[in-house]
Structure 1
Amino acid sequence: MDTLVDLVIARRLRVPLNAETDAAETVPGWGEVAARQLDAALLSVGFKCSATLLDRLAALPGETVVDLGVQVLASVRRMAGDHVQHNAYFIDFPANVPDTMEFWVGLLVEALLDPVAAARVQPATLNLLSLPGYGRYQHTYADLLAAHAELIPLAADRVTVLEAGESLESEARDLYLSLAGSEVPLAAEDLEALGLLASFCADEPERIPVRENRAVINQVRLAKGLPLLVDTVTDVLRVAGGDVTLATATRFRSFRRSERRALLAALDGLPPAKLGDVPRRREQWKRLGERLHPHEFPQFPRAAQVFEVARGERRAASFDSRVEAALSAGRTADAVELLEQTPGALLRRVDHLLRTGSSASAVVDAAERAAERASGRVLLSLREHLQNRLAASATDRVFLNRYGRAWAAPESRTPLDEDVASRMLALLDAEIARRLPDPGDLVVDPDVLDVALPLSGKAVVPGLGMLPRGSLSKVDGELLRFFVHWRQAARRTDYDLSALMLDPSYDDPTHISWTNYGNDFATYSGDLTEAADGASEFIDIRLADADQAIIIPQVNIYTGESFDQAAEAFFGYMSRNAGQEGRPFEARTVRMKSDLRGSGQVALPLVFLRGDDGTWRVKWLHLYLKGDPFYNQVEGNRLTTSLLVRSIVERDYLRVGYLVELMRAKATANGHATFIGLEAPADLPAGARAYTPGTLHELIPA
């Protein structure tokens, strides 16, 4: 139950409250006192209770409020990264950080003056990183606190409001239906949450459009002995394996006889036409057949055919192979006719079909018919793709996989005919607008208009203040402070927080890292090379003094465990005003924090951009570079980083503002209200629908 409460608080910023079962107060007024104490404790980490939440807590017994408050406070502290002690290598950071060369010379002199250490210092094989005192804290966290004044609170500090929720059952149900019914693929963390919620909630979603989400729910149904919801053979493979995304090699477990019967029954219920999907994952099907023993279930003859195809005993041409054969033979019209059977596949190939020399009019006509049956996410993705193909600045292509790993290549495709592309954009706009609901009285926070539509959530790790890739948001405050914290699980691990800085043309590079501790506007907190008990690094940037227009924070794995192997790893940034005292880490100034994960060796969470008017904005990247197996440094990936970031910055992402324009054109006085913004206001009328970053995926039409 505690995990479910944490999920609701983290994903919805709502505190589940059951009906007042303990109506009798043990001490009059004690509930109100406890509620006020909780509110004060929350404020210290940048959160507070709404007026409604305070009133409802005050009506509960004080002991109940205290127990709930302990859990709420722990949950929000994890959200902000305040659940660990953030020490800094240099105790006075950002003050009194030495010059880089001065620091290294000081360490070397100190080592030479120590007879024991001097014996280990051999000029021919000198490793500066192995000098005594380097890479490990030289003071305790208590010493750090004693060296810093209390935070000077300002009105500009972040205050995230927690709302009063309904019962845990109700809140969990709403979150479950929202995730299960998502029109976009979910992050790995959300898929895990979906599985937990599916085990807890009895309700069935009306529709589950994303196959990975359906597979998670099917795994729960399999455990409960319920029939599976499948319409392709691959749906069954997702359920049987451990990874519903099918991205990693599957090691099938041993199944109970009832589970084998359920999986084979699901396969048997599919039409023979679906057998064409088997050859794509032939080896996985062979291994699954060894676990399911289909010969023991003669009542499922069509299920046995699946494994015959896998073994090569039965032929079954896949849909994709038939399409490719038609295209290879120059029979584009036949390929288009085939693709019309699967509208999503046709729309994903529109660009290619328009470049094959076939009749553009015929392709657009087929796309118009397919648009009526394709998912809203496919329509929006194609809309974004086409508007970028028409952009004159589109000189590079960016390729992204499900883990956020990215690479760029020069644009080599022939341009699309502008009239044809414009006709496609018009028909897409019309179909998307048709599917959008009437918002009634539509209220929109202007700050949300530049937030990118979440067309995929795979690479976006849930966290505090997170927005989809390509989103733009303003930067408050005069000082930026990046932070990374990690704790190694089994072996020495060294992560390096760095920042690459470029001019408006993505040139004239400079950097801040363990090889360059500072310049005229930025300061590094010092390098830590192991993290058995956790380690934190910071970079402080005075924006008014910055002489570069582009600032790219990054986390490099120098040695040790990858991001998803470490016991804990997260990145974030704070913003403060000049002269605002405080510790290196202050939770109430944290604007964004999320876990680091993925197989890349270099994390690029976001980029800060200075506009022509001098104001700063942040654009969300959620990228990982492959990097090298060891010793990654900001200097070594400068060209790759600048190319990738430029491609993301210059790409025209489809934003919330696009849907808002279409919704406004449909708005009528129907008695309902819709709010879209970064935070829901407290004075929303009863029955109003609110869309905030945690529920933006619900804006994507079906």
Structure 2
Amino acid sequence: MDSLESLVITRRLRVPVDAPIDSAPGRGEVAARQLDAALLSVGFTCSAALLERLTRLRGESVVDLGVRVLAAVRGLVGDHVQHNAYFIDFPENVPDTLEFWAGLLRETLLDPVAATRLQPLTLNLLSLPGYGRYRHTYADLLAAHAELIPLAADRVTVLELGGSLEAEARELYFSLAGSETPLAAEDLAALRSLASFCADQPERVPVRENRAVVNEIRLAAGRPLLVDTVTDVLRLACGCSGGDVTLATPTRFRPLRRAERRALLQALDTVATPAKLGDVPRHREQWKRLGERLHPHEYPQFPRAARVFEVARGARGTAGFDSRVEAALSAGRTAEAVELLGNAPGALLRRLDHLLRTGLSAPAVLDAAEKAVAGASGRVLLSLREHLHNRLAPAAGRVFTNRYGRAWAAPDSRPPLEEKVLRRAVAILDEEITRRLPDTGELIVDPDVLDVALPLSGKAVSPGLGMLPRGSLSAVDGESLRFFVHWRQAERRTDYDLSALMLDASYDNPTHISWTNYANGSAEYSGDLTEAPAPHGASEFIDIRLADAAQPIIIPQVNIYAGERFDEAAEAFFGYMTREAGQGGRPFEPRTVRMKSDLRGSGRTALPLVFLRGDDGAWRVKWLHLYLKGHPGFNRVEGNRVTTSLLVRSIVERDYLRVRHLADLLRMKGSSAEHTTYIGLEAPADLPPGSRVYTPETLHELIPA
């Protein structure tokens, strides 16, 4: 129950309150005020409604709830660990890089014991005694820093009053299950926990990975399964065995009970039509392994299910839909391919750019697209709309990103499309998107949310504090930036390196801050740590004075130099703070944190975001959520600056579809409803009762079905 409560607090910033009201009013007032003061120290506060509700509870109930709430928000902001720094006075008194190494070497040579360990022919500076390990305690660090001076610009995140835990969990469950966009791995895990807790089950789950998680609960309860393709059954079988419902990695299937085998084969029999057997070869080996657990020969009443495994073994041939389309295109029969794709509206729209370049008349292709839009998902329509808009202008390169955020860039060699063709395609899409948008009533849009990108996929975005979708833009307030990374190794020595690459307006003339260059005229590095053992792990920081920054592009990155991957470490997260001059405080101050999220991509270099200075001198941040493949070890900022520059430029120059676009369509559509709809970074307290609220945490609910 505590984990569900923490889930609601961190994902919705709402505090479920189930405790009964005390018959003697006012007993919880002191405890409520103490909780609010404790929350302010980490950048949170209770809303007026939450504070009033807490004052009417028993004091011990408020204390118990407060302990759980404080633990949840401290983990959300990254304050649940001790953030020590290698250089105790950071950002002050950071030594010159060469002077530091020379001093460390001199210190080693003067130590008779340490000097005997040096190799006679080679000198590994990273192995010098005292390097890469804390030389002072966290208490020593606290004593060396003054208290943070609170300022009005510090972050204060409001925690709202929630309903009962059951009601809040159900609302979050239905929001995740009904999402029109794929979820991050953390959200899928949350969906599984919520599905086990909530009695009600949604009848419509559009994303297939989400559907597999919901089907696990339906299978256990003996309820009808939500399946319409053979792959839905395979995903469910993987989920039941604790495997990967995305099918990206093979699953070792567990022995299945007879009731489970019957239910899976029965569901498979209902969907295994000849047209859908073409999906089987894509996961042939997984189907073979599943057949060994299901024993389809024992169930002659399900003959179509048995054909699935015949196809997997190669005993029965089948022509898949994609292979027929590709064969038609390869033979130059574009009209035939378009006709085939007419039976799969989403597939036709995904191939629209290609079809417009195959020689068939553009009006014929667009006529087919106009018929297909009604049968495609809202996410496909919006993704294609974004793609076509960017075809109107040349880009630095094409960026390809997989489900794990692994990215690579390539030159754009596609021939351009005629502008009148693109204009008609865009008009078709906008008309259908507008038709599907909800009736908003009175629409209120916070200007600060207009440049937030629509969440068309959430797979590469780890949940956290202040997170926005890839391509989003937001303002940066404060006179200095401070990046931080924290990690804790699980089994072997692990060395992560926080770095910052700085480029000019043409994405050239690189300079950097890292363990090989501690400082320049505007930035300081907190010092290199080469291991992160339990219980406290390790933290590194980079502090940048924005007014002194010579170059307008700053790209923080985290490199794996040695040891465990991001998703193997016991803990790994990145974030940034903003401060005003003279605030002081510890290297890590939770109330100044603007963004924090876990690192878990499969690459060896993380690129969370990029900071950009505009022509007006103001700084903005654009969200990347990218990972580079990198090398197996010894990754450094100097070694990936060319790849990083091309990737970042491709994303910075890409025009992502943002909330601004949907807001314009909503206003054009008009409304006769009497309720109010608010879209913003956070909901104000004075909205009318019954208002519909969309914030970054629930923005996916605005994507039309």
Fold-level match, TM-score > 0.5? yes
Q: Give the CA deviation at 1:22.
A: 4.9
Moved more, 588-597 or 279-288: 279-288
Q: Give the match's secondary structure for 1:34.
A: helix
Task: Please show how residues 191-590 of structure 1 align to structure 2 within 5 Å.
Answer: 191-241=188-238, 242-270=243-271, 271-392=273-394, 394-533=395-534, 534-590=537-593
SS at match of 1:139: coil
Contact 1:233 1:274 in 2 (8 A): yes
Residues 1:88 and 2:89 are matched in the alignment = no
Q: Decide which of 50, 66, 73 is 1:76's aligned counterpart.
A: 73
Looking at structure 2, the residues matched to 395 and 640 of structure 1 have their Cα atoms a distance apart, in angstroms, of: 13
Whole-angstrom distance in 1 between the partners of 2:5 and 2:641: 43
Tell me what 1:2 maps to: 2
Q: Distance in 1 between matches of 2:269 and 2:142?
A: 66
Alpha-carbon deviation of 1:439? Answer: 1.2
Q: Which amino acid aligns with 2:178?
A: G
Corresponding residue SS for 2:355:
helix
Supply the distance in 1 between the matched residues of 2:284 and 2:669 (Cα, whole angstroms).
49
For 2:232, the aligned partner's letter is D
CA distance in 2, matches of 1:124, 1:556: 29
Pick from 643, 646, 649: which aligns with 2:652? 649
Counterpart amino acid of residue 40 in structure 1: A
Q: Output the CA distance in 1 between the equivalents of 2:37 and 2:266.
A: 57
Corresponding residue number in structure 2 for 1:12: 12
Cα contact 2:379–2:456 (8 A) shared by 1: yes
Alignment partners' CA distance in 2, 1:678 and 1:133: 45
Q: Counterpart of 1:305 in structure 2: which amino acid?
A: R
Q: Alignment partner for residue 145 of structure 1, among 142, 145, 148?
A: 142
Could you say what secondary structure the match of 1:544 adopts?
Answer: helix
Secondary structure of 2:637's aligned partner: coil
| Counterpart Cα distance in 1 of 2:461 and 2:283 | 28
Cα distance in 1, alignment partners of residues 581 and 522 from structure 2: 12
The equivalent residue for 2:111 is: 114
Offset at residue 302 of structure 1 (A): 1.2
Residue 571 of structure 1 aligns to a residue whose secondary structure is strand
In 2: Cα distance, 1:70 partner to 1:478 partner: 34
Normalised to the residue count of structure 1, the TM-score between the two structures is: 0.98
- Alpha-carbon deviations, 1:474-499, whole Å to 9, x = none? 00100100000000000000000000
SS in 2 for 1:372: helix
The answer as to 2:180 corresponding to 1:183 is: yes
In 2, the alpha carbon distance for the partners of 1:402 and 1:669 equals 40
SS, match of residue 569 in structure 1:
strand
Which of 36, 53, 57 lines up with 1:56 in the alignment?
Answer: 53
Tell me by how many angstroms 1:314 deviates: 1.4
Change (3 A) 1:123 1:642: farther
- Confirm or deny: 8 A CA contact 1:286 1:307 kept in the other structure: yes
Q: CA deviation at 1:123?
A: 4.5
Aligned to 1:551, what secondary structure does the other structure show? strand
Mapped to 2, the partners of 1:248 and 1:200 lie a distance apart of 27
Count of aligned residue pairs for this structure pair: 698
Q: Is the 8 A contact 1:450 1:473 kept in 2?
A: yes
Shift of 1:30: 2.7
Is the CA contact 2:27–2:56 (under 8 Å) kept in the aligned structure 1?
Answer: no
Q: Distance in 1 between matches of 2:222 and 2:378?
A: 33
Pair 38,517 (structure 1): closer, same or farther in 2 beyond 3 Å: same
Is contact 2:396-2:649 (8 Å) kept? no
Q: TM-score, normalised by structure 2?
A: 0.98
Pick which of 662-671 and 396-405 moved more: 662-671
Q: CA deviation at 1:669?
A: 4.8
Partner of 1:97: 94
Contact in 2 for aligned 1:454/1:468 (Cα 8 Å): yes
User: What's the offset of the Cα at 1:195?
Assistant: 0.8
> Which residue of the other structure, out of 28, 32, 35, is the alignment partner of 2:29?
32
Deviation at 1:204, TM superposition (A): 2.0
Task: State how far apart, in whole Å, the 2-side matches of 1:428 and 1:233 are.
Answer: 30
8 Å Cα contact 1:441/1:667 also seen in 2: no
Aligned partner letter, 2:301? Q
Q: Which runs of 5+ in 1 are unaligned?
A: none
Taking the aligned partners of 1:695 and 1:449, their CA distance within structure 2 comes to 15
Alpha-carbon distance in 2 for matches of 1:636, 1:310? 44
Q: Which runs of at least 4 in structure 1 moved beyond 6 Å after TM superposition?
A: none
Q: Give the aligned residue type for 2:390.
A: N
1:604 aligns with 2:607: yes
For residues 421 and 123 of structure 1, the distance between their equivalents in structure 2, rounded to whole angstroms, comes to 68
How many Å separate the matches in 2 of 1:227 and 1:127? 64
Secondary structure class of the residue paired with 1:518: coil
Q: In the TM superposition, what whole-angstrom CA distance separates every residue of 1:451-504 from its partner, at most 9, and x where no partner exists? A: 000000000000000000000000010010000000000000000000000001
Structure 1 residue 59: deviation in Å? 0.7
Is contact 1:439-1:666 (8 Å) kept? no
User: Using a 3 Å threshold, how does the CA distance of structure 1 residues 415 and 584 change in structure 2: closer, same or farther?
Assistant: same
SS at match of 1:540: strand
Matched AA of 2:48: A
Shift of 1:438: 2.2
- Structure 1 residues 503-532: Cα deviation after superposition (integer angstroms, max 9, x where no partner): 011011000000000000000000000000
Matches of 1:638 and 1:103 in 2, distance apart?
A: 25
CA distance in 1 between counterparts of 2:694 and 2:513 reads 38
Instruction: Tell me the residue number matched to 2:629.
Output: 626
SS of equivalent to 2:193: helix
Write the deviation string for residues 355-411 of structure 1: whole angstroms up to 9, x where unpaired: 10012111000000000111110000000000111113x131100000000000000
- Counterpart of 1:247 in 2: which secondary structure? coil
Percent identity, aligned pairs only, is 79
Tell me how far apart the structure 1 counterparts of residues 484 and 526 of structure 2 sit (CA, whole Å): 10
- Does the aligned pair in 1 maintain the 2:396–2:653 contact within 8 Å? no
Alignment-mate amino acid for residue 358 of structure 2:
T
| Deviation at residue 223 of structure 1 after TM alignment | 2.5
Q: Which stretch shows the higher mean deviation, 445-454 or 315-324?
A: 315-324
